A and B are shown apart, each in its own frame.
Chain A
Amino acid sequence: METVTTTGSAASRLTQQPQGGTEQVTPGEIENVERALIDASTRVPVLMFYTSAIFWLLVGTLLAAFASFKLHSPDMFSGISVLTFGRVRAAHMGMMVYGWASMAGMGTAIWLMARLCRTTLRHPLVLVTGAAFWNLGVLLGVGGILAGQSTGYEWFEFPTYAGAVLFVAYLLVMSWAVLMFRFRRGDTIYITQWYLLAAFLWFPWLFAATHVMLFVVPVQGVMQAVVNWWFANNLMFLWLGAIGLGTAYYMIPKVIGRPVYSYNLAAIGFWTYALFASWTGMQRLIDGPFPAWMITASIAAAILSIIPVATVGLNHHMTMRGYFPLMRYSPTLRFTVFGAISYSAFSIVGIIISLRSMAQIVHFTQMSVAYSHLGLYAFFTMVMFGSMYYIVPRLVGREWRYATLIKLHFWSSAYGVGLMVLMLLVGGFVQGLSMNDASLSFTESTQSVLPYLRGRSVSGILLTVSHFIFAYHFVLMLFGLGRTASVPTFLNPIEPEDVHP
């Protein structure tokens, strides 16, 4: 920063604007105050969701790092049942999917819903209760897994009682988010609202249907695996993915001040996404004991999902065209754009590993872990970080304190997840090649992937560092230690000491 001029508050700035009357309240001012009021009404629940999410993120990261080390040093703590790899891994997944991703997603979704419906949030205590119950559900679920009560279904390991608590909590949150629609102002429903509404309606159906089919009226034999992967896949796409895409559709245009390149394209992208993404999932069961047509249908859907991926990617790219240098100035933009690009990478990797010729090699290898992390971290988590950088200052009325911490967070996250995905993609391929060569002993395939797993552990350290940096920064904001802002939006100037001479 070479030149910094300290401008005044919003009010003084408003008077400088040509359309602003000197004495009367301008329409712009009304909107500004109104937006601040709406933001303020969401403060308690959204901050509660965020705080919980970041807590689970930290614990989940530590567990992930532990599990990652355990994979190449299997003798650590082998006498302690709670710390055995299988339990720690499941607990990590549960915390990340339900504790971190879902809570961060719900926090962002609530804020976006209130803003886009242009209505203040009524009775925020209901949402706070929902968040509290959700935390209880995650706690029970993770405790159950560590105590040895995992159900054995991937992404659904939480014992049934924890699932029930989660569901009740969810109904509280969802009903409130959907109710906001009743009080919304204006006729238009923005594309972000489509995604959020869809996510909020898909999740309970998905969760309840899976619960019923696995525990209440259990389906027979391999159908459980079908239900399981249908659930896991749709949880990724229809719940987390929809929230992530919706958030990106708001944040990118809003930060750069330019409408989405093509709204029609966005609509096409939404509907093709809903149609095709919900049909993928069975390719994760490729070559297993299932009717071939199901697998083929899912592979076809995965290939067809290139349509929504291309439309979304094209749309974001054209919106951003010429504005990419702005990523330097906005934490939100850099995280969100990183996430949006990762979404394309995630989908393309998903297509490649589901092709039969490729799946032959990489099925049952670390490649599937790479794929999950591309979706859950490189895409979704990065978008959530971006939205938090945008939303939290507007809730606490303070600015982020240290630009350096934001940069450190971004780069260690970006390099961390990049390294992890690269290691696991290459490692998975190597592992698959040696596994398929029957002249090599089986242990050779696991030995061949070990160097890559060690590399992955290095990336785990990077991610752990980045998450603790972010959590520290977030806590500063919570305690009102951010930079002062006179109005609840980013209107105050940079404080001089942060400015590079």
Chain B
Amino acid sequence: MKGLLPLFLGIFGTFAFSWTGLIFIPNLQIGHLDPQTEEDGTDAYPSPRSGMAERGRQIYAANGCNYCHTQQVRADYAGSDLDRKWGIRRSAPRDYIFDRPVLLGKMRMGPDLANVGHRVPVTDQNAPAPSATTSTTTGAPVAGASPAPAPAASASPTVSPAPAAQTASAPPASAQNPTPSPSPSAPNEVVTAINGVPIPYTEAWHHRHLYSPRSITEDSDMPAFRFLYEKRQIAGQVAADALNFDESSTDAPPSGWEIVPTYEAKCLVAYLMSLDQSHSLKEVKTAAAPASPPAPGKQVK
């Protein structure tokens, strides 16, 4: 029996020590945070999500989105998260107080999503070649973002209006066409900018991207989540939420058919749209003014 008691005590002691230090004390420090409010109790942040968004979180976790996407913005001294406009400030514990499960992630095979409900699509220099903007949907929608797509974008007004409306590309501010709003025939248009001012990711963008990631970003590494969508025959009129495709796209359903998001897909998109850490927090320094458009594109090597 000699030596057994110290062994037991040691085994339990080290474990208790670790639990106290890494779980118990931090829990006292950051485990009971309240939403931040103004002095008069208004402007509470964060607030709980809607039921649909909460359901979307479960779908996000169930399909392992968190293995490739993080939901945390690092400070300016670590990494280039802020430079990449993934957020305007670093994330703080208070941002997550209503999250369950919390899906911080540990891998970035895809971009960070902490602000995906708020931020604007970042120009992707690897998007389909500029000439493609005239005929196919492109992932290079932000005006004046980079030298490479710019000529093509300025050339886009020369294209006939109907195909142009089909594209995700928006004319730059200097363009003559001031009304890039969705055309009536395409209610679910993927629009990323209005009057050259980029607008945040839309629901249509997310649905399109979930259904066919490589139709938006050619180099995307994301698996398509087609099982979240339903392909059905058009009954009478095209459904309002049907996904919109170019006719040339290989993703487009055969004529007479449409692709509509299931309830799960809608929940997932609702969750993605709810991801927003743009509200300032007192404990975190905000780097840039909120809602500023992304800095004009950087040089492509």
Find out whether A and B make contact in their complex, taking CB atoms under 8 A apart as touching.
yes
Interface on A for B, CB 8 Å cutoff? 70-72, 74-75, 78-81, 84-87, 89-90, 148-154, 181, 187, 189, 194, 197-198, 201-202, 205-206, 209, 213-214, 218-227, 230, 234, 238, 271, 274-275, 278-279, 281-282, 284-291, 294, 297-298, 356, 359-360, 363-366, 368-369, 435-447, 449-450
Given the interface pairs A85-B223, A148-B63, A274-B10, the reply to whether A224 lies near B79 with Cβ below 8 Å is no
Contact of B300 among A214, A439, A445 (CB under 8 A): A439
Given the interface pairs A78-B225, A282-B22, the reply to whether A438 lies near B83 with Cβ below 8 Å is yes
Name the A residues within 8 Å of B80 (CB-CB): 435-438
Name the B residues within 8 Å of A201 (CB-CB): 8, 11-12
User: CB-defined interface of B1-29 with A at 8 Å, one 1/0 digit per residue?
Assistant: 11110011011101101110111001101
| Partner-binding segment picked from B48-56, B123-131, B178-186, B233-241 | B123-131
User: What are 9 pairs between A and B in contact, CB < 8 Å?
Assistant: A74-B213, A75-B223, A84-B64, A86-B63, A150-B64, A214-B101, A221-B98, A288-B74, A435-B108
User: CB-defined interface of B65-106 with A at 8 Å, one 1/0 digit per residue?
Assistant: 111101010110011100110000011111111111111111
Given the interface pairs A221-B98, A439-B300, the reply to whether A290 lies near B124 with Cβ below 8 Å is no
In the assembled complex, the CB of A458 is this many whole angstroms from the nearest CB of chain B, namely 18
Q: How far is the CA of A154 from the CA of B11 in the complex (A)?
A: 25
Contact of A150 with B62 in the complex, beta carbons under 8 Å: yes
Contact of B111 with A287 in the complex, beta carbons under 8 Å: no
Contact of B223 with A84 in the complex, beta carbons under 8 Å: yes
Name the B residues within 8 Å of A148 (CB-CB): 59, 62-63
Q: How far is the CA of A97 from the CA of B30 in the complex (A)?
A: 30
Contact of B64 with A281 in the complex, beta carbons under 8 Å: no
Name the A residues within 8 Å of B111 (CB-CB): 442
Contact of A284 with B106 in the complex, beta carbons under 8 Å: yes
Task: Report if B147 contacts A (CB, 8 A).
Answer: no
Q: How far is the CA of A366 from the CA of B67 in the complex (A)?
A: 11
Number of A-B contacts (CB under 8 A): 243
Which are the 4 A-B pairs with shortest beta-carbon distances?
A86-B64, A152-B61, A438-B83, A278-B18
Contact of B107 among A205, A286, A290, A368 (CB under 8 A): A368
Given the interface pairs A441-B124, A442-B111, A443-B217, the reply to whether A85 lies near B33 with Cβ below 8 Å is no
In the assembled complex, the CB of A440 is this many whole angstroms from the nearest CB of chain B, namely 7
Chain B at the A interface: mostly helix, strand, loop or mixed? Answer: loop
Q: How far is the CA of A74 from the CA of B65 in the complex (A)?
A: 13
Name the B residues within 8 Å of A87 (CB-CB): 62-64
Contact of A150 with B106 in the complex, beta carbons under 8 Å: no
Q: Which of B29, B98, B100, B122 neighbours the largest number of chain A CB atoms within 10 Å of its CB?
A: B100
Contact of B102 among A75, A90, A222, A238 (CB under 8 A): A222
Contact of B224 with A225 in the complex, beta carbons under 8 Å: no
In the assembled complex, the CB of A164 is this many whole angstroms from the nearest CB of chain B, namely 18
Name the B residues within 8 Å of A274 (CB-CB): 10-11, 14-15
Given the interface pairs A368-B106, A439-B300, A443-B217, the reply to whether A287 lies near B22 with Cβ below 8 Å is no
Contact of A365 among B67, B108, B224 (CB under 8 A): B108
Task: Report if B109 contacts A (CB, 8 A).
Answer: yes
Given the interface pairs A297-B21, A360-B79, the reply to whether A78 lies near B226 with Cβ below 8 Å is yes
Task: Report if B175 contacts A (CB, 8 A).
Answer: no
Q: How far is the CA of A74 from the CA of B67 in the complex (A)?
A: 14
Q: How far is the CA of A90 from the CA of B107 in the complex (A)?
A: 14
Task: Report if B31 contacts A (CB, 8 A).
Answer: yes
Contact of B122 with A221 in the complex, beta carbons under 8 Å: no
Name the B residues within 8 Å of A222 (CB-CB): 30, 93, 96, 102, 104
Interface on B for A, CB 8 Å cutoff? 1-4, 7-8, 10-12, 14-15, 17-19, 21-23, 26-27, 29-33, 58-68, 70, 72, 74-75, 78-80, 83-84, 90-111, 122-126, 213-214, 217, 219-228, 298-301
Name the B residues within 8 Å of A198 (CB-CB): 7, 11
Name the B residues within 8 Å of A291 (CB-CB): 26, 29-30
Name the A residues within 8 Å of B124 (CB-CB): 441-443
Name the B residues within 8 Å of A364 (CB-CB): 70, 79, 105-108
Q: How far is the CA of A19 from the CA of B10 in the complex (A)?
A: 42
Q: How far is the CA of A183 from the CA of B100 in the complex (A)?
A: 46
In the assembled complex, the CB of B69 is this many whole angstroms from the nearest CB of chain A, namely 10
In the assembled complex, the CB of A214 is this many whole angstroms from the nearest CB of chain B, namely 8
Q: How far is the CA of A75 from the CA of B211 in the complex (A)?
A: 11
In the assembled complex, the CB of A224 is this many whole angstroms from the nearest CB of chain B, namely 4
Contact of B104 with A285 in the complex, beta carbons under 8 Å: yes
In the assembled complex, the CB of B235 is this many whole angstroms from the nearest CB of chain A, namely 22
Chain B minimum-CB-distance residue to A199: B11
